[in-house]
Structure 1
Amino acid sequence: MRPSKLILYAMMILPWLTVPFLGKKTIKRFLPASLFMSSVVWVEGHIARNKRWWFFYEKIVPKAIGEFPLIVGVFLIGTLWILRFTYGKFIRFIILNLIVDSFFTFVVVEWFQKLKVATLVRINKIQLSLLFLLKSMLLYGFQFIIEKTKFIKE
């Protein structure tokens, strides 16, 4: 197996090993927002493929978008962890997202390019960072609406 494919498998499977440490209450509370954002990123992946914002050299599932392992692994589970530690503390949420997103944009993307996993094509790192920031705001807003809706129903 090529190293690039092994990396994608690891990014899909390893985050799931942390799920038992989240706790049932956290999963129940934040899973809807996490699934919503994973769906948004799925749609974004299709748009990115059509617009050639980035390109994945490897795919785990041949007919799926290249982002599939990142969406069902790192992104889905990472979103649960970020919400667990930061929801209700907006400044902490923004700071943690900026750190994680910047690490991905400026470190992981470079690493992906060197290892021929993926590369940016028609989008630069600043634009990618802004895209991450926009998705972070959408995530927080969606969770806020869920929390308010639950409050009204109780």
Structure 2
Amino acid sequence: MLSWMIRLGLLVISFVSLWFYPAKALQKYFPVSLFTSGLALIMCSLSFRYRFWMVSGSIFKRLVNDLTFVFGPFFAGTLWIFHLTFGKFWRYAGVNAMMNVVLSFLLNPLFQRYNVYKFVNFNAAYLFLTYMGYALVLYPYQLLIRDRKEKA
């Protein structure tokens, strides 16, 4: 029951935060946030095959768990990080590193303790490196989007 409350809380907090998000920034950073969600969904798909993590219960529960993270904190977090840091790469990299440390080394053990998920063939360092890799792909992607819009 607590794991469901955690999932719901992550989703609700993420979407409530977007009420305060500027509409113009949403239009500007929505594509990169959607791309982030796609990358995270690919990772979730790979986790089925390679057993990166497990969620107790049915396949439905696992799907809900993955979608909660993908379209909750990762989607909203990407929007906020780009809104607050885009144009200053080192600030962007630093904020991403801090957020990934918090997720990988502080929140991850709590999520595992409260049975939100359990790592099987994955660990906190892999999680950190994976999401830092995403961050390094997302920034040039947003630069490309910006440059294309400026040319149009």
TM-score by length of 2: 0.93
Unmatched runs of 5 consecutive residues or more in structure 1: none
Deviations 1:46-85 (A, max 9, x none): 1112111112236795472631101111110111000000
Partner of 2:102: 103
* In the alignment, structure 1 residue 53 sits paired with structure 2 residue 52: yes
> What is the Cα-based RMSD across aligned positions, in Å?
1.7
Structure 1 residues 5 and 82: CA distance shift in structure 2, 3 A: same
Distance 2:16 2:9 in 1: 11
Matches within 5 A, 1:14-93: 14-57=13-56, 61-62=60-61, 64=63, 66-93=65-92
Distance 2:121 2:43 in 1: 14
CA contact (8 A) 1:58 1:118 kept: no
Distance 1:20 1:60 in 2: 32
- Which 4+ runs in 1 deviate beyond 2 A? 56-66
Structure 1 residues 112 and 126: CA distance shift in structure 2, 3 A: same
2:100 corresponds to which letter in structure 1? D
Deviations 1:13-60 (A, max 9, x none): 221111121111110000011011101111110111211111223679
Distance 2:83 2:103 in 1: 20
Structure 1 residues 78 and 124: CA distance shift in structure 2, 3 A: same
Distance 2:33 2:83 in 1: 11
Distance 1:133 1:144 in 2: 17
Structure 1 residues 36 and 129: CA distance shift in structure 2, 3 A: same
Deviations 1:113-153 (A, max 9, x none): 11111121112221211101111111112111100111111
Richer in helix (by share): 2
Structure 1 residues 60 and 74: CA distance shift in structure 2, 3 A: farther
2:133 corresponds to which letter in structure 1? L
Distance 1:32 1:143 in 2: 8
1:57 corresponds to which letter in structure 2? S
